[in-house]
Structure 1
Amino acid sequence: MTYSETLTLTVAASLAVQASAIGRAMDPDTGGADSFRHPVTGYAEDGAPVLDQATLTTTTACTPEFKAQALAMLADPELLFAACQADYAARWPGLVSPSLEDCTAFCEALQID
C-alpha cells in the first residue's frame, strides 16, 4: 500500500466534538478521535508554540483510493453519516455515532487542502 497522498482538513474549533467523533470513525486505527488539533501559528519568545484557538486541523498521509473515498464522503453528509454509523456499529458499539446533523455541520464548515 502506497501512502502517496495527503489530506488536510480544517474546521472551526466549535465543531471539536463532531470532528473527534468523525475522526474516530475515519481512522482505521484507534487514534482518530484525537487527530484534530489547534494549528501552530508561530512560537513565543520562550519557544512555546502559539496556537490558533479558532480552528482545528488534521493532516494524514493516505492512499489515492482512501483520499478519493474520503473526499466523496466529505462532499455528501449522508454518505459520511452512513460510514460513521457502520464503523461505530462494528468497532465502537458502546459509543454514540455522530448524527446526520453532526455530519452535515462538519461538512458544511470544512475546508479541505
Structure 2
Amino acid sequence: AKRWVSPKAPHEKEESMKLWSIAIFSLIGATVTTFAVGQLRRTSDWFCTQWSKTQSWKGGTGSFRSSFQEEARRRYRQRMQEEYEEEMERVERIRRMQSVFNRERNKHKRS
C-alpha cells in the first residue's frame, strides 16, 4: 500500500531543519559569548587588581589591616555585582533566543 505524501512535505521538512539549525546556532553562540565575556572579565579584573595593589602600596595611608579589609569588601562587592550582571546577561540571551525561536515558529505556522 502506497502512502500518500503531501506536496508540502519536503518544504516542511526543510523548514523544520532550518528552525533546528537556527536554534542550535543560537545556543552555540550564546555559550561561546558567555565564555568569552567571562574570560574578558577575569582578565580585566586581574589588571584592575594589579593596578589597585600598586596604588595601595604607593599610598601608604591607614593601617595594613584596614586596607586589607577594605580590599576584601571591595572584591566582594565587585564579585556580587559581576554575578548579578552575568545573570542579567544570561536572562537577556535566553529571551533573545526565545524570541528568535518564536518568530521562526510563527513563520512556520503561517506557511
**In which range does the TM-score fall when normalised by the shorter chain?**
under 0.3
TM-score, structure 2 normalization: 0.23
TM-score, structure 1 normalization: 0.23
Structure scoring higher RCO (CA < 8 A, sep ≥ 6) equals 2
Rg larger in 1 or in 2? 2
